[in-house]
Chains A and B, each alone.
Chain A
Amino acid sequence: MRRRSISYSRYGFLFCLPFILAFLVFSLYPILYTAFIGFTDLKGVATKEFHVLDDPFENFKNLLFDNDLFRNSLLNTAIIWIINFIPQLGIALLLTAWFTNRRLKIRGQGGFKILFYMPNMITAGTIAVLFSSLFAYPMGPVNSLYQMLGWSDEPINFLLDKWTARGIVSFIQYWMWYGHTMLILIAGVMGINPTLYEAAEIDGANGWQQFTKITLPSLRTIMLYILITSMIGGLQMFDIPLLFQNGGPDNATYTASMFIYAQAFKGQYLYNRAAAASMILFVIAAVLSAILFYLLRDRDAARLKREERRIRKAAAKGGVMNA
């Protein structure tokens, strides 16, 4: 009996093996290698030999204490992510509430869902170029509109304003991803036990109450997933700010990923500094995620998980008995 159950659990490890191997080769090794480079003097494209620095933390110290640009890029990344994510999650939740509301019965939901995801399919390059030409100066559609409506007499160079530029980048980001977020949220709602809603309806709870009392709490795990994937995506924000205004104006949309790219591939090929910056980014991501985990931790879920395990154990036992 015991041998049998062990032989099944072996498959658990076996089935995870491809994942583990791919991770070790394509992620872990490059990461460790990157981390190592962060402590060395590796720069210049054709450098074959490099050594650990006398002060191994020199690159890190430089970035954290002497590099305004890096600090700015972190700040920009945070600002752009926040002003994109709050409305993105807001609208996605709202649409989810509407689409899953049993009384509202929105028609053409399928069509809307298809359309809302569509912006995700366009390449970042296209959209960045499109927006730069929309806000072009001194002549461009938005400028023409402003003048037509009498809001301004002279053409305005919108893209020289830091907050306008950040706003546009955030908007593009928001617009590309809210459909995706919505689809995942709806998937989460569909996984909620329908009897919960039926019971609530009998108790006379309205749509809003159902949403806040049943839907939201049940979506904790999914929300955590969305928050984390979106945050990682936000930290990697690269092509849109690059192609939109090349990080400008005055570096207002210069993101951390652009910084890393610039260190590694522009100018002097400062691989070591790029690597150190990558590691700092990783630490930031880890700390933020830990905070998110803590904030969204769910005591009920922990309890449920225990129960689940108990049930599964019972099932496994049953399985063995059947065999």
Chain B
Amino acid sequence: MHNTAVKKTNSFALRLNRTFVYIVCVFLALLSIMPFWIMFVNATRSTPEIQSGISLLPSGHLMRNLEVLVGKSFDPITGFINSFTVSAGTTICAIYFSSLTAYALVVYNWRFRQPFFTFIVLIMLIPAQASAVGFYQFMYKIGWTNSFLPLILPAIASPAIVFFMRQYLLGALHYEIVESARVDGSGEFATFNRIILPIMAPALATQSIFVFVGSWNNLFMPLILLTQKEKYTLPIMVNLLRGDIYKTEYGSIYLGLSLTALPLFVIYFLLSRYIIEGVALGSVKE
């Protein structure tokens, strides 16, 4: 008797709780969708319509906006290819080498392992601004402007990702796997590529999203380093649209922004399985 009563109030409280949770979640979800919705809707509206206020219903000026966009030397295809080259290159460098470094930190008991890890945590603290001035001057000196390399290669040293990957490996990697690979005569490097990387897939995917998004939306460094039209990334192109001071074609700007966001969406949803499932960052081993 007593027990069931407790259970009943419990389940009532639970339901109340659950309702509250859903309300909050739905509210936050709407808050997430809204700006994207407004952006996409504005891509179909004319500039005067946009200036007269925010609307949630699409209008019929999509084609005209596209015409203006293309007419303004906005080349979505070149932009996409450049953005993709930079973002994919950055992601691959950051993810692969960070995993390799994290693996080295977890599996091998080398002399400077602990100091090196402390060192990585320390350099995580360096704000990008701290080296921006020097980096900028350095790249000009060696003539690396208008090259994608200075945007991609620095990603090889991504301390925050190494940290993340190390945490993941601590939980997910069983040392026996490495052992048995060695027994089978697999080289250390091959073991990492063939056996360890697949184990890390969920963490790789999650971090790939984070890195890719960050790189895709990056404006500051590309803007300074890339000065040739053929090298422009999508955010630079959108920024240029805003630069026409005489008249701001808001419709086409929003279309440009939408076109910039679309590929990101595709990649995000392709990898979203890993977001849903999540990864386990274990610091405590069983």
Q: Is B130 a contact of A281 with CB atoms below 8 Å?
A: yes
Q: Which of A20, A118, A260, A323 contacts B32 (CB 8 A)?
A: A118
Encoded as 1 (CB less than 8 Å from any B CB) or 0, chain A from 77 to 117 comes to 00000000000000100010010000110101111111111
B282 within 8 A of A: yes
B238 within 8 A of A: yes
Query: In the assembly, what is the distance between CA of A273 and CA of B164, in Å?
Result: 35
Query: In the assembly, what is the distance between CA of A16 and CA of B123, in Å?
Result: 15
Q: Chain A, interface size: which category? A: 35 or more
Q: Which of B116, B175, B280 contacts A312 (CB 8 A)?
A: B175
Q: Is A235 a contact of B21 with CB atoms below 8 Å?
A: no
Closest to B14 in A: A103
Q: Is A22 a contact of B154 with CB atoms below 8 Å?
A: yes
Q: Which of A106, A304, A318 contacts B22 (CB 8 A)?
A: A106
Interface locus among B63-71, B84-92, B132-140:
B132-140
Query: In the assembly, what is the distance between CA of A15 and CA of B105, in Å?
Result: 9
Q: Find chain A residues with CB under 8 A from B246 CB.
A: none
Query: In the assembly, what is the distance between CA of A237 and CA of B128, in Å?
Result: 11
B230 within 8 A of A: no
Q: Is A32 a contact of B276 with CB atoms below 8 Å?
A: no
Q: Is B235 a contact of A285 with CB atoms below 8 Å?
A: no
Q: Which of A19, A218, A228 contacts B283 (CB 8 A)?
A: A218
Q: Find chain B residues with CB under 8 A from A225 CB.
A: 160, 163-164, 167
Q: Find chain B residues with CB under 8 A from A180 CB.
A: 210
Closest to B179 in A: A319
B48 within 8 A of A: no
- Which residues of chain A from 11 to 68 have any CB-CB distance to chain B below 8 Å in the complex? 11-16, 18-23, 26-27, 29-34, 37
B286 within 8 A of A: yes
Decide: A229 near B124, CB < 8 A? Known: A26-B157, A275-B134. yes
Q: Find chain A residues with CB under 8 A from B154 CB.
A: 22, 26-27
Query: In the assembly, what is the distance between CA of A225 and CA of B238, in Å?
Result: 33
Q: Is A236 a contact of B18 with CB atoms below 8 Å?
A: no
Q: Which of A98, A141, A179, A308 contacts B285 (CB 8 A)?
A: A308
Query: In the assembly, what is the distance between CA of A67 and CA of B219, in Å?
Result: 29
Query: In the assembly, what is the distance between CA of A111 and CA of B272, in Å?
Result: 9
B199 within 8 A of A: no
Interface locus among A123-131, A149-157, A159-167, A246-254:
A123-131
Query: In the assembly, what is the distance between CA of A323 and CA of B18, in Å?
Result: 55
A8 within 8 A of B: yes
B1 within 8 A of A: no
Besides A108-B25, A123-B235, A285-B127, 15 other CB < 8 A contacts?
A: A12-B107, A12-B113, A26-B150, A29-B134, A37-B133, A106-B22, A117-B209, A122-B35, A122-B261, A124-B217, A125-B239, A125-B257, A222-B167, A236-B129, A264-B133
Q: Which residues of A contact B (CB under 8 A)?
A: 5, 8-16, 18-23, 26-27, 29-34, 37, 91, 95, 98, 103-104, 106, 108-127, 130, 133-134, 141, 144, 175, 179-180, 183-184, 186-188, 190-193, 218, 221-222, 225, 228-229, 232, 235-236, 238-239, 256-257, 260-261, 264, 271, 274-275, 278-279, 281-282, 285-286, 289, 301, 304, 308, 312-313, 315-316, 318-319, 322-323
